Homo-oligomer: A and B are copies of this chain.
Amino acid sequence: MKLYDYPQAPNPRRVNIFLAEKGIDVEKVTIDLMKQEQLADSYRQKNPACDVPMLELDDGTCISQIRGIVHYFEAAYPDTPPLLGKTPAQKGLVEMWEHLAFMNGLLAVAEVFRNTAKGFSDRAVVGPHNYPQSSELAERGAMRLPNFFKDFDQQLGQNEYVAGTDYSMADITTLVTCDFAKWIKAEIPEDCKNLRAWYSKVSARPAVQANS
């Protein structure tokens, strides 16, 4: 089994923290995004979505997308700490909050970053196809991010962790989003005290420290 990885980028970091929390060791192969190695033919044949991370199983099965990879590991390693919920209701809440963190937080930051960064002039969307940057979308992302911070601050005023009482994948995506926001010079606002306290707590976890 091999994990194709680029630890500097936010999406691979989500999987790397997840694996460290579960104590799973996987052989890693670096795909250098700065050299656009994700678009090379040899990698594209394994992963037509041309993104990282991607997990190649010993039988040749290739699983891309964070959701795909974490669900594989959660099911294949049932004796490791669960990060996608234990009960049916918890499983639902983890998926719900992870999706909201991704859609309203991580994508908002990505909308700003990918539509303004110089090196991404025709690479505004992750994947095999080139699309031009959009200044309107960068502006929208910048409008959306403060609402993400405010909404998650409210949720963390009523819950210890993003999806409720237990640390989960929803916390990992939210944490990575808060750090990714620094790439666009944004940070958790001063008045989001619940989110800031939670951020300090989860940032101190050994699995997060080891992937920072």
Give residues in A with beta carbon < 8 Å to B.
48-49, 55, 57, 59, 61, 63-65, 67-69, 71-73, 75-76, 85, 87-89, 91-100, 104, 124-125, 127-129, 131-132, 134-137, 140, 143-144, 147, 151, 154-155
Known: A76-B88, A134-B137, A144-B125. A68 touches B55 (CB 8 A): no
Contact in complex: A64, B96 (CB < 8 Å): yes
Contact in complex: A68, B88 (CB < 8 Å): no
Contact in complex: A92, B55 (CB < 8 Å): yes
Closest to A76 in B: B88
Cβ-closest 4 pairs across A and B:
A68-B96, A72-B92, A76-B88, A75-B88
Residues of B close to A131: CB separation below 8 A: 140, 143-144
Closest to A115 in B: B136
- For this complex, 6 residue pairs linking A to B, each with C-beta atoms less than 8 Å apart, are A57-B89, A63-B89, A65-B95, A124-B140, A134-B136, A134-B140
Closest chain-B Cβ to A209's Cβ sits at a distance in Å of 27
Known: A72-B89, A93-B68, A99-B67. A127 touches B140 (CB 8 A): no
